[in-house]
Amino acid sequence: KGKVVMERYISIEEVKYIDEYKIYLKFNDGKENNLDFKDFILLEFN
């Protein structure tokens, strides 16, 4: 489990996949968004 710290907490269930530079998020509306690693801090990602 893990948490993403930004302006809000993002639950692990929202994370679709991670590549080297971006984290891809899934949302309830089915749309996909991504964030550059420089925009957030990953904590306790296992």
pLDDT at 44: 45
N- to C-terminal Cα separation, the chain: 5
User: Residue 16: how many CB atoms within 10 A of its CB?
Assistant: 13
**pLDDT tens digit sequence for 5-46:** 544 555 666 677 777 666 676 655 555 565 555 555 554 454
pLDDT at 20: 65
Report d(CA 44, CA 27) in Å as an integer: 22
Overall average pLDDT of the 2-7 stretch = 52
Q: Are 40 and 3 in contact (CB under 8 A)?
A: no
**Closest-CA residue to 35 (of 14, 44, 46):** 14
pLDDT at 43: 46
pLDDT at 46: 43
